[in-house]
Amino acid sequence: VLLLDEPFGALDAQVRRELRRWLRDIHDATGYTTVFVTHDQEEALELADRVVVMSQGSIEQVGTADEIYD
């Protein structure tokens, strides 16, 4: 399991985009389960196979990026 808590928070936009691609490539190549904590919806929708939306410590929604976005 790879656990990442806001790993791209202090980086500029270009570096963030490059690292998102890199992280997705690693995930696809290894198949490791990855828990990625972010407040950035763009990151969540780009990287996640499944998304969990939480509010004040409670789970509000669980689904694919498309299900959550709709």
Which H or E run includes 23? helix 13-30
CB 52 within 8 A of CB 62: yes
Indicate the fold that domain 2-69 takes in CATH. Rossmann fold (3.40.50)
pLDDT at res. 58: 96
Tokens 């389960």 sit on residue:
33
pTM, two decimals, is 0.74
pLDDT at res. 51: 92
pLDDT at res. 52: 93
- Each residue's pLDDT, cut to its tens digit, for the chain (70 residues) gives 999 999 988 899 899 999 999 999 998 999 899 999 998 888 888 888 899 999 999 999 999 988 988 7
pLDDT at res. 46: 85
